[in-house]
Amino acid sequence: MLAGCVASGGAGSGAAGASAGMLASPSRSGAAREVEAPEIYQTTDTALWDGRPSLGGIWVAATDVKDPERVIMVNLANGKSVAGALFRREAGNPGPKLQLSSDAADALGVLAGQPVQLRVTALRKVEVETPAAPAPKVAAPEETPPAAPAQTAASTAAVAASALEAADSGAPTATSGGTEAVSAAPAAAPEAPQRKTWAERRAEAKARREAERAARAAAKAAAEDQAADAAAAEGIGVTAIESAPLDARAPETAAGAAPPVAAGRPIQVASFSQEENAKRAVEALARIGISARPVRSERDGKAVWGVVAVGDAELLKKIKGAGFADAYFLQ
């Protein structure tokens, strides 16, 4: 009766059916699992995600593919790997040999427009034999128990219904007097920490990319202002803001509040001819966890706004990595 309650699902169609066919499923003879098959297909080459969202889930396209394959992709830069589909890519299209989908790039930690070395290997299913469990030994009873009373049709139906409910809920059953009875369910185990969903991971990656773009935009604006100042000064490069005191205070500090104590050396991040550009650079640095402030000074009768942070060599390295390549210690 219990076996008859299990519905047999039909085979899927399209991509969903193909994905279901690759899952390992137990059987009487054993279970299927996927292994790498480099003799079928394997390549190591440059891969790229162009930054556009793509359909179809996790896949990679290559120019030397004849038939679609199930493959495993390994990012050789960070060791991340993911299984997905391999499709053929038109050889005339520009770009590297391998093209990644947006989902595959997210799983492998690949940024938009950043080429990486990728190893792609075909997968094949193999059957793994599972040894049969030995039959439990039953001790012979010392004396024969009295025969159980005959069950009526109504009691048999009730026992079957209880067994089905126990099977659906996952509760164990205990045997007493030849009749199965549902035992009390054990205390619920503590819930395991939930993994982040695909949408949450994608939102975090998008926030990181936006912060990086803002920092690069601020760095580009700083470079443009420096180039404009250099042209106005007839080839003389922008120098450090020497006239700005090292203990320059923010507006709220000038009102009488004690200045905050910061460990480290002052770092000249960039200088701007427009105060608004300096404020945008401060905001961009704040998005990546770097605290900075604009400092106004005079140079040749013109107002100049410098962006100054306080920190050590590690902070200076982080600032340069954000796009402010000309940052340096003021002392």
pLDDT digits (tens, 9 = 90+) for 6-61: 333 333 333 333 333 344 444 445 578 899 999 999 999 999 998 999 888 999 99
Q: What is the average per-residue pLDDT within 194-212?
A: 86
Kindly report which listed range (131-140, 202-211, 247-256) carries the lowest average pLDDT score.
247-256
Residue 195: predicted pLDDT: 80
The whole-angstrom separation of Cα 266 and Cα 257 is: 20
Residue 83: predicted pLDDT: 96
Residue 22: predicted pLDDT: 43
For residue 122, count other CB atoms closer than 10 A to its CB: 19
Confidence of residue 249 (pLDDT cuts 50, 70, 90): very low
Q: What is the average per-residue pLDDT within 67-82?
A: 94
Residue 41: predicted pLDDT: 93
Every domain range in the chain assigned CATH 2.40.40.10:
27-127
Residue 102: predicted pLDDT: 95
Residue 6: predicted pLDDT: 31
The average confidence (pLDDT) of the chain is 72
Q: Which fold has domain 27-127?
A: Barwin-like endoglucanases (2.40.40)
Calculate ∠ Cα 89-92-95, nearest 5°.
75
For the chain, percent of residues with pLDDT exceeding 70: 60
Q: What is the average per-residue pLDDT within 80-101?
A: 89
Calculate ∠ Cα 32-123-78, nearest 5°.
120
pLDDT digits (tens, 9 = 90+) for 254-293: 344 444 445 689 999 998 989 999 999 999 999 999 999 9
pLDDT digits (tens, 9 = 90+) for 100-143: 999 999 999 999 999 999 999 999 988 877 666 666 665 555 55
Q: What is the average per-residue pLDDT within 207-211?
A: 87
Joined tokens for residue 178? 């030849």
Its pTM stands at: 0.33
